[in-house]
Amino acid sequence: MATTAPTLPGRLGAPNLEMKDDPRADPRMIAALAPFGLDCPPPSAGVDASSSMEALYAYCNAAEAGFEGFNEAVFADLDPVPGVSSRTEIIRGVDGNDIALYIHRPDGVTDALPCVVHTHGGGMVMLKGSAPGYIRWRDELAAAGMVAVGVEFRNGGGALGDHPFPAGLNDCASAVRWVDENRGSLGISKIIVSGESGGGNLCIATALKANSEGWVDKIDGVYAQCPYILGSWAQTNSELPSLHENDDYLINVSSMGALAKVYDPTGEHRNNPLCWPFAAGPDDLAGLPPHVISVNELDPLRDEGLAFFRKLLSARVRAVSRTVNGTCHAGDCIFRAALPDVYQATVDDIKAFTKTL
């Protein structure tokens, strides 16, 4: 009896497939993206890893403005999260610079709570922790029974640039150390470092930095979402099929390769796991705290996250992976209105992770 070979997923099976036509995509997400034209391939960035730094900085500025507009629009009509208060603390970083920390806490709770130090997305080169979507994320984490601390770290480009590696990482590490030193006044118990995309890089890299410097015991866990950790996006990598399978689904490989150059302009850190955690070897990983690596099914970054999860297991680090099906890059923390159940499931999973530590 003849059988039909299964069709490969995404653009592996249909090279010109668009996300809106991918049968795996959550139709609610596609409907939310359509008004912005983001259900189709994004327009060419006009830059790649071979572009001049001047062109790359200009691209970062333009991309940042576009993402900020999108962020404001998708979070504009939501009711405020009740029962949460926030304040801003300015601390001094290890490089002598000021760092704003946005601290969110549920009202009326006197018990010590787990703390999530949040490192926001943007490829380490754009966006701000003060954006509406990140304020909402911290509010939602606080409403779930955690203290959330957002780090306004220096970016490689954009309005908070240009500060290439290791500036942003140093700021994130400084934030975690300050939070640890102030556990009592903050009313916190455990410290989890968490972030998505570029923030996924930075939360993992913060743990790696702490491990190499001997203070990793201050971090109880890492929850990395769709981590951008490879650093060689301009190259073909047959071991990571999602780079082709999901290329041009909200983000594309060529532009992410450009952002990698903004973060590491000379490329001298391409094999440095503090810059690109995918480069970490067993000795770098040994002794790290428990990790969750959460990825999105329709994301070009998906397979680098899953490969890193397997590296953690090989190094005997306690680790769990989860794949958020039907969603694009960071879809589970973008679409609060369109995918409330998916969004809430990730918030709940972060809270559940804290209970295992």
Q: What is the pLDDT of residues 37-62, one digit of tens each?
A: 999 998 888 888 889 999 999 999 99
**Alpha-carbon gap, residue 176 to 150, rounded angstroms:** 10
Q: Above 70 in pLDDT, residue 267?
A: yes
**Alpha-carbon gap, residue 205 to 217, rounded angstroms:** 15
When pLDDT is averaged across residues 94-117 and rounded to a whole number, the result is 97
Cβ burial of 107 (10 Å; 0-12, 13-18, 19+) is: exposed
Give the mean pLDDT of the chain.
Answer: 95
Q: Above 60 in pLDDT, residue 4?
A: no
Give the CA angle between residues 200, 202, 207 to the nearest 5°: 105
Query: Closest by alpha carbon to 340, among 66, 75, 20?
Result: 75
Cβ burial of 157 (10 Å; 0-12, 13-18, 19+) is: buried
Give pLDDT, residue 253: 87
Give pLDDT, residue 134: 98
Q: Tokens in use for 134? A: 């990140």
Task: Return the domain boundaries, the chain.
Answer: 23-355
Give pLDDT, residue 237: 61
pTM: 0.96
Give pLDDT, residue 69: 95
Query: Closest by alpha carbon to 175, among 121, 95, 243?
Result: 95
Q: Above 70 in pLDDT, residue 156?
A: yes
Give pLDDT, residue 20: 97
Could you tell me if 63 and 122 are in contact, meaning their C-beta atoms sit under 8 angstroms apart? no
Phi and psi of 236, rounded to 5°? -80, 135
Give pLDDT, residue 6: 59
Q: Above 60 in pLDDT, residue 2?
A: no
The structural architecture, per CATH, of the domain 23-355 is 3-Layer(aba) Sandwich (3.40)
Q: Above 70 in pLDDT, residue 178?
A: yes
